[in-house]
Amino acid sequence: MVRDARSEVARAPSSGKLVAYRTVTKRLAGAAGEWITKGVISDILVDLAGAHRNFGLSTDHIQKIIAEEFSAAAIQKDEAADSRGSSILYATQNEARSEVSWPNPTQISSTLAPVEQLHPELLPDAIRGYIWDVADRQQSPPDFAAVAAICAIAALVGNRVRISPKQADDWEVVPTLWGAIIGRPSAMKSPALHAALRPIYAIQDEQRKLWEEASKEAVVDNELNGMHLRDAKKKAKKALESGDSAGARSFLAERELNDGSELSPCPRLVVNDASVEKLGEILNENPRGVLVVRDELYGLLSRIESGEFENERAFYLEAFNGDGCFTYDRIGRGTVHIHACTLSIVGGIQPSRLAPMVRAAMSGIKNDGFIQRMQLAVWPDDLPSWRWVDRTPDSTSAALYEKVFRDLHGLTIGDTANPHIMRFSPTAQELFRDLTTQLQTEARAGRLPPTVESHILKMPKTIAALALLFELIDGGRWEVGEEATRRAMAWASYLRSHANRLYASGEAMAEDGARLIIERRQQLPHQFSQRDIYRKGWANLPDKDAVESAVHVLLATHHCREVAPVKGDQGGRPATTYAWHPSLNDEMRGDVDAEK
């Protein structure tokens, strides 16, 4: 009926527009009693109220016709209908306001901050070739594999080798690193992650096989030991019964009074999914530290973002420094003391998933420094073009890359109890001092948001850790030299640009979501709510916070506005609904006419 009404008014000559509009309005008003109960009358009124743009009717005429015809119609069948009818009339008049009170929509522009590219010189020679080979064959940004590789190497070194960034001070940095590779679903994050982590998984698999063989031997040894022990006890008993106490002692002394040695724990380098309690046990069994790998980092982040798991959040915050301890008490497990919380983290995540967490940090809701600990968060631009690549992997660079992992895993220059401490060379020390001074000065100037300040204040630890790792990759074992330090300083600039993009992502993702809603507005009711959008399950609007932020952008740019809320038959707080700017309704009508 509404479509027929539009067509009828559209076909009327210019001189008869007003009569035609009054006629269809009266017809719609007559049926309004039924439509009110169905909850669609407001959509119809809002649609007709914008007709003055298409049909040349003035706003005064629109308001007058709607008021007269709906007052004359018998729509007030009961108190609920009367209440809703009044609200609808108000909403309709609200929608029929002139263009002066509803400015034309403004353009929604992207605020995605620019980022620096990862240049080959930022990586040590020993791992550079493999990273670029993987990126070329997969047609993925090299940033993804590079960050995953560095985080894995950090986990292999663990807390056994540390850097003291000052010459006389006792400040020590454990090279734990947290990385996030950020990109849309088809950006090849997972393949790059798996390729970069192949050596660390290979080492872990080899260790597990050796452990399984050793465990089999240990089971046999324990059984034999038990048999000997039982035999010794029998002999001791006989000697004791005969009054030979010395002989009984001699028999028992030949065998230790135990049931065999405990099996050693399975060595671990990588953990994919574990509770904090289990992770604590793994760390005690592997005190050098482990790498937490999450193909979808959102699962881990969303869990610890939840107020239900505040204890887990506290644990991860403590684990960032790599040299702290943590104790938890549980009825089932009892008291577990973790002597060395040393964790590196890496995983992939979509921008739309990360944006709400960034917004929470920027607003102060969750600004405890967790997001800022993702110091190796990279969000590179999509590749400008894609090409088909089908060639043999570079075996030479792959072998060199794997050798780095095996050499660092087998380091013997330090252990958890007595770590090997390295310092900067004199020239490198000056470079690090100047960079740290620059970062501290910028962060304390009061010109940056608190979240960004916190991120910058954590960068000296990151740069010191990177310099140490680059030196170890290059074969250095005693001091961190100028080359490794300059490379780490180049990473400071590179990572800072990606941090800028990260902290602007809340606004950028809201704008992307707003554009998506506009593009798909025909799938929504004419008068829609945030719930209508959320229930669509659109990829760039994964949660209610993202929908709310996108709608705020639409309101700020005049693409839509709130309409007067209408109470339901059951009472309660009415939902906030929104109506599109008349110019967007015109476009939708044009699309419908084109389909006809």
pLDDT digits (tens, 9 = 90+) for 273-322: 888 888 888 999 999 999 999 988 888 888 877 766 777 888 888 888 88
Percentages helix, strand, coil for the chain (3-state, rounded to 5) are 60, 10, 30
Dist CA 502 CA 509 (whole Å) = 10
User: Given pLDDT bands bounded at 50, 70 and 90, which one contains residue 339?
Assistant: confident
Q: How far is CA 359 from CA 197, 299, 353, in A?
A: 31, 18, 11
How far is the CA of 289 from the CAs of 83, 252, 478, in angstroms? 66, 41, 22
Q: Can you say how many angstroms the Cα of residue 460 is from the centroid of all Cα atoms in its chain?
A: 23
pLDDT tens-place string over residues 387-435: 999 999 999 999 999 999 999 999 988 888 899 999 999 999 999 999 9
Length of the chain: 596
pLDDT bucket at 596, cuts 50 / 70 / 90: very low
Q: Is the pLDDT of residue 476 over 50?
A: yes
Beta carbons of 400 and 129 less than 8 angstroms apart: yes
103-112 confidence digits (pLDDT tens): 889 988 766 7
Find, among 213, 121, 216, the residue nearest to 470 by Cα. 121
Q: Are 555 and 562 in contact (CB under 8 A)?
A: yes
Q: What span, in angstroms and rounded, lies between the C-alpha atoms of 581 and 106?
A: 11
Amino acid at 86: S
Pick the closest to residue 556 from 508, 511, 505, 518 (CA basis): 511
Pull the structure tokens for residue 449: 């948001």
Rounded Cα–Cα distance for residues 326 and 336 (Å): 8
- Quick count: other Cβ atoms within 10 Å of Cβ 499? 24
Q: Which of 11-25, 129-143, 521-535, 542-556 has the highest mean pLDDT?
A: 129-143
CA dist., res. 62 & res. 54, Å (int): 12
Q: What is the largest CA-CA distance in the chain?
A: 131
The residue among 429, 448, 428, 546 whose CA lies nearest residue 496 is: 448
- Calpha distance 428→434 (Å, rounded): 10
Q: Are 547 and 481 in contact (CB under 8 A)?
A: no
Residue 294: CB atoms within 10 A of its CB come to: 19
pLDDT score recorded for residue 11: 65
Is residue 203 within 8 A of residue 406, CB to CB? The reply is yes
The answer to whether the beta carbons of residues 502 and 183 sit under 8 Å apart is no
CA 255 to chain centre: 57
Encoding tokens for residue 325?
């301890």
Strand segments (E) across 93-231: 161-164, 178-182
Judge whether 180 and 346 are in contact, CB under 8 Å: yes
Mean pLDDT of the chain: 81
Question: How far, in Å, CA of 343 to CA of 282, rounded?
Answer: 11
pTM above 0.85, yes or no: no
Handedness of CA 153, 155, 161, 162 (dihedral sign): positive
Q: What is the pLDDT of residues 342-392, one digit of tens each?
A: 999 999 998 878 877 887 787 766 667 788 999 999 999 988 888 999 999
Quote the tokens at residue 215.
Answer: 């465990």
End-to-end CA distance of the chain: 16
